[in-house]
Structure 1
């Protein structure tokens, strides 16, 4: 774990913000801080680790120290991979704020058994909330629906449809296009969708160290296929900035989206950017 490249300005910006609707801060990788107009704060997949060089090499700054996070009502995890469930990134937030860690079973197994958050940090087991597809929970001003996604590299991935009186956000984790997305479009009017996007590259194999052709995220066509099925008003691509060898140009999505009704708007954000719902 390294210290923040940016000091504490990002957690302070979240704490001091007074949104008119809902504000979202992109944390790089697939992470977001989300704050509603009544002050509820959600953190989704926050990750400030540096990967596992030379296999996975972080390409963006570490934007905050978890110990500096003073405002959190819940930390949500989409699946069990280390850049989505990571004790050094997330457990201090639970310890400092007393908030809940909301995650599916395999993600909780990482926190409980593999990383032993309750032993390594001042985290109580009661802060762990297990969820699965079809669940609904209320966190302050947000209603969070746990939905099915399609990430064949994960053992139990989920997505979160986050409803607010002023609009709806969907965080799909690292999902590729899913048969469930057209059903979600029928059930929810999604204003802003967050979809992982990246290139195909060669990444050293975890066991042998030999370079292997790797595709962890949707390519351009898949990202637009997913956004179209979800009938998104706004598409925010993520993960394209993170890992050496798998980075991509999100502006290329403009050309792929041009002839489709959805997404109506492509919104490219960089790490540290704030956008409004």
Structure 2
């Protein structure tokens, strides 16, 4: 029977369309056979990534399944909003979510660990936590102290959680997760800690609320910088550890805001870390921070010979896969376009001879 407009409701529309990719990417990740001496990862939007090793260990990091602004409301920020506290601006931040949901969190399977970099809600997500807790009963929940406290408040069992601070190492099957110092000034000045807020103090202990991670796999090491700004101490991390791929929170900062890493500092971070590949993320998600990653590529072209850059920038697409070292010399991702078997069967459309 054909559909009728009188049967269509908002609920039916939401259920039939959302998430926009359905389980396409879930199925791709689950079926992926990661080759020996490689490691694969998928970009899930913002700084969310899924890492899968040759040994079939699956780590989910910073998946955010929420939304930005959904109404103009009063046109003003709520009192205490983090951007208000950071800049003094009172007008609403126009941070609309610009990316579709490429993963269905409630169809997640086989996750061995959910790892979160810091306390901000576009990285620490209750929907992701609920889905992983339900679907992957043996998964560990790894994060700094305040991240774990949030999980516990949401109902994640304490025995599933692991608190980390810089220097800690956690073994998740064959992947070693190394917690390192974060350099997220925004997290410091926007930390929602009632006791500290009442005292009018800005917390000084970054380690409680944010860490960076190095994921050490048999196919290569992936450095996730969370929302860190540029810091000279990246060089110390690059001296202490082998970094094959690094990801940084790139974006076009609005007037009066320094929240995302600029194109120049993305390259400085890569150089300091002695990495082979640098990948910008986060610029995709917020309408008021969107940036063109090709700015990084063009500046790299200008400087690569003079500064002897031995790394390459890589422009990813949300929902796309990157495999190291298979893709280390590529500059840009493109989705598979299909039609490899075009005209393998007789087509129905007649073509004029002049075409």
State whether structure 2 residue 224 is matched by structure 1 residue 224: no
Map 1:233-244 onto structure 2 (within 5 A).
233-244=276-287
Alpha-carbon distance in 1 for matches of 2:172, 2:69: 33
Aligned to 2:41, the other structure's residue is in SS state strand
State yes or no: 1:107 paired with 2:147. Answer: yes
TM score, norm. by length of structure 2: 0.70
Structure 2 residue 25 is matched with structure 1 residue 10: yes
- Residue 152 (str. 1) matches residue 185 (str. 2): yes
**Alpha-carbon contact 2:118-2:144 (below 8 Å) kept:** yes
Single out whichever of 24-33 and 93-102 deviates more from structure 2. Answer: 93-102
Equivalent in the alignment of 1:176: 229
Whether 1:88 and 2:127 are equivalent positions in the alignment is yes
CA contact (8 A) 2:53 2:218 kept: no
User: Aligned equivalents of 2:134 and 2:213: distance in 1?
Assistant: 23
Query: Aligned-pair distance for 1:172?
Result: 0.6
Distance 1:75 1:84 in 2: 11
The within-5 A match list for 1:53-92 is: 53=70, 55=93, 56-92=95-131
**1:180 Cα offset (Å):** 2.0
Residues 1:188 and 2:241 are matched in the alignment? yes
For the aligned residue pairs, the C-alpha RMSD in angstroms reads: 1.5
Structure 2 residue 294 is the aligned partner of structure 1 residue 251: yes
Which residue of 1 is the match for residue 10 of structure 2? Answer: none
SS in 2 for 1:27: strand
Q: Is the strand fraction higher in 1 or 2?
A: 1
Q: 1:264 aligns with which of 285, 292, 311?
A: 311
SS at match of 2:26: helix
Counterpart secondary structure, 2:129: helix
Question: CA-to-partner distance for each residue in 1:164-187, whole Å, 9 max, x for gaps?
Answer: 122111001011112321111111
- TM-score scaled by structure 1? 0.89
Equivalent pairs, count: 259
Larger radius of gyration: 2
Question: Aligned partners of 2:26 and 2:290: how far apart in 1?
Answer: 26
